[in-house]
Amino acid sequence: MCGIAGFYNDELPRVEVIKAMADRMAHRGPDDDGFWLDGQSGWTFGHRRLSILDLSESGAQPMISASERFVICFNGEIYNAEILRDKLISGGFVRAFRGHSDTEILLEAIEAFGLEDTLKQSKGMFAFAVYDRQERVLRLARDRAGEKPLYYGFIRDGARRPFFAFASDCALFGCIPGFRKEIDRDALAAFLLYKYVPAPMSVYKDVYKLPAGSILTLSEPFTEPVITTYWSMIDTARYGEEHPFTGSYEEAKEELERLLTDSVKGQMIADVPVGAFLSGGIDSPLVVSIMQKLSERPVKTFTIGYDDPRINESEFAADIARHLGTEHTELILTEREMKELIPQLPYYFSEPLSDSSVISTYFVSKLARQRVTVSLSGDAGDELFCGYERYWETGELWNRINKIPFALRRGSGSIIDALRLSRHPFFFKAGECLKARNVNQIREMIQYRRDIETGYLVPGGSIPPIGDTDAKLNNIYASMQLADMENYFADDILYKVDHASMAHSLESRAPMLDRDLVEFAWTLPQDFKYKDHVSKRILRDLLYQYVPESMLDRPKQGFYVPIRKWLLEGSTFEYTSELLGHSHLARDGYLDGDVVKDVWEFFQKNHKKHQLVFNILMAEQWYRSVKEQ
């Protein structure tokens, strides 16, 4: 796990700028840094290293291939690097390697097999830049699910000349002289709706996220990038639906266990200590169970608890840890220390994020880093195996609404609009649900578009219309899962985990995102995942082989944070009152101050719309922090 940056501009003080970019992301790689300047092309690469495999100098970056044709700047891990290594040696492409880093293996594979073929063979999480000095072509690539971040764009220097740049973190562009940090109003509006900035937008104008599973190609004269897809979550899900698993439930469970075991085994490989996050739920206990089965020593596990017994599930994680025999560490958080973290988050989160579980993720990463350098998690279990209650609640609502002919529903929704009733929250939601063409439009309405003010908060900003939300699969539950994997999971969950863990120089790995496991999950019949209001059915039954059912038979808690309660009392109330009452975003024309005031007053009076208030608060805190940098 590392950080990368680069740009094409030989008019800048290149060493000074790339060192500043590297210093800004020092937390992503505290073990080493390096840079590479190409005198012929004008490209500059910078790298920060968190040493995981091959701790020697032979793993340092940026790295030049043995032939000196290719230069790579790599962030991530290739879990099947040894298989690629064997292919390179047996095929006569490489006689010997300088070290045993996955970066060197990937680099030589790119030269031997080509970039796209290498990516199709590779299993891992990554974001990297590779420059072909012979063809004078730069390529950026990102892993299939979007675990590792990668930003790019044509930005302007102090003389307002556009040039191409890329980085692991969009805050790094602020190290380039002349970059104005101009906020994209559409991105801000989308954030206030979704709690995250959806790809391919970033919070800054002219800076974008490279989509997951994509390759960006930039050829001389380096002005028109071309983006292609080498793997698609949508195509994979559609293929799985068209070619379903035909074996029995028990056979599916056996195959899932085999795939997950192979994935966990591969992701436990490191030259540094490895542990795991552990909750009292289903996903991480299953990962830890398999880790412990594969390990000769107790696995180091970590969990976060709260001093409020109503929301504390650390005791359940501790029970599971004792049963499995792990070396368990827990941290009980107080409201005070969680609240105190909020103003610190913008330094590590270069785009605003108001998923409240970021607080718990930050602290559990900090806890784990005291004992290990790599931590495995259960991320993707909910999205791939139908774990959210909102899936079946939304599905049941859609099934009821869909019994009414669409023309009649659409007409009723239009009447609500014509009578101007849609300014009332109930009628707003009812009207939009009636006009829905598919289940994902219902999901979008219930999950995100609950507060009509989001459409009025950002002057000059627009959010995607609800009609753009499509149902891409025939099964309504699988369609909602796919929508989450494409958007919420990639741009909220993975962004949160990457930035919270890297704030402490901790590498987080997600075994359930293994390519073969993901592709298998999409082939499973839906009743293997969800049946009779039992979510993640196949994961549960697999876990029961390791942990007694009695330890797990209770409602899902998750990393819950009592945001509504915080916003209404004590220091957090005063803090929010100050930020929203004297909004710098409103002062500078990015938010409508009157709407902000109305939302805050409505919340204080009715104790509703707490998520929207928290969204505005986190945007305001982020903006003030950015202006100070």
Predicted pLDDT of residue 412: 85
Whether 481 and 602 map to the same domain: the answer is no
* Four-point Cα dihedral 374, 380, 382, 383, nearest 10: 160
Residue 317 belongs to some domain of the structure: no
CA atoms within 13 A on the CB side of 585: 34
Indicate if 608 and 493 belong to the same structural domain. Answer: no
Choose the final residue of a domain: 196, 231, 266: 231
Whether 145 and 246 share a structural domain: no
User: What is the model's pLDDT at position 629?
Assistant: 64
- Distance, in Å, from the CA atom of 253 to the CA atom of 612, rounded to the nearest integer, reads 41
Are 375 and 291 a contacting pair, CB within 8 Å? Answer: no
pLDDT of amino acid 360: 92
Is 363 in the same domain as 476? yes
Q: Which two tokens stand for residue 109?
A: 């594979």
| Enclosing H/E stretch for 277 | strand 274-277
Same domain, 176 and 272: no
Q: Is there a single domain that holds both residue 281 and residue 405? A: yes
CATH number of the domain at 541, please.
3.40.50
What is residue 132's predicted lDDT score, i.e. its pLDDT? 97
User: Would you call 512 helix, strand, or coil by DSSP?
Assistant: helix
Q: Is 370 left (phi over 0), alpha (psi -120 to 50) or beta?
A: alpha
Q: Residue 343 has what DSSP assignment?
A: G
Same domain, 613 and 577: yes
pLDDT at 413: 80
- Measured CA to CA, the distance from residue 395 to residue 439 in angstroms comes to 7
Assess contact for 252 and 260: CB atoms under 8 A: no
Q: Write down the pTM of the prediction.
A: 0.95
Assess whether 199 and 253 both reside in one domain.
no
Give the amino acid at 393: E
Q: How many residues does the chain have?
A: 629
- What's the whole-number average pLDDT of the chain? 92
In the beta sheet, which residues pair with residue 49?
2, 32
Domain co-membership, 576 together with 604: yes
Give residue 342's Cα distance to chain centre.
19
Position 331 in a domain: no
In a domain, 267, yes or no: yes
Instruction: Indicate whether 244 and 110 sit together in one domain.
Output: no
pLDDT of residue 53: 72
Residue 396, CB-side half-sphere exposure with 13 Å CA sphere: 6
DSSP code of 620? Answer: H
Give the pLDDT of residue 558: 53
Instruction: State residue 509's pLDDT score.
Output: 97
Are 238 and 472 within 8 A, CB to CB?
A: yes
Look at residue 338 in the predicted model and tell me its pLDDT: 82
Look at residues 178, 198, 231 and tell me which one is the last residue of a structural domain. Answer: 231
User: Among residues 503, 520, 554, which one ends one of the domains?
Assistant: 554
Domain count along the chain:
3
- Tens of pLDDT, residue by residue over 289-309, are 999 999 999 999 999 988 776
d(CA 371, CA 320): 20
Q: What is the pLDDT of residue 423?
A: 65
Which parts of the chain register pLDDT below 50? none
Q: Give the span between the Cα atoms of 516 and 583, in whole angstroms.
A: 48
Give a yes or no: residue 167 inside a domain.
Answer: yes
The boundaries of the domain holding residue 267 are 236-295+351-554
Does residue 164 sit within a domain? Answer: yes
As a whole-number percent, the residues of the chain with pLDDT over 70 amount to 96
Same domain for 123 and 6? yes
Question: Where residue 162 sits, what CATH number does that domain have?
Answer: 3.60.20.10
- Tell me if 588 is assigned to some domain: yes
pLDDT (0 to 100) of residue 427: 77
Q: What is the pLDDT of residue 559?
A: 56
Residue 305 lies in a domain: no
Under a CB-based contact definition with an 8 Å cutoff, are residues 397 and 536 in contact? no
367 and 507 share a domain? yes
CA 625 – CA 38 distance, rounded (Å): 34
Question: What pLDDT does 152 receive?
Answer: 98
Please give the C-alpha separations between residue 611 and each of 171, 308, 422, 492, 598, in angstroms, as whole numbers.
25, 21, 20, 15, 15
Residue 155 lies in a domain: yes
Question: 374-376 and 507-509 as β-strands: parallel, antiparallel, unpaired?
Answer: parallel
The CA-atom distances, in angstroms, between 341 and each of 235, 333, 344, 362, 446 are: 40, 12, 5, 9, 30
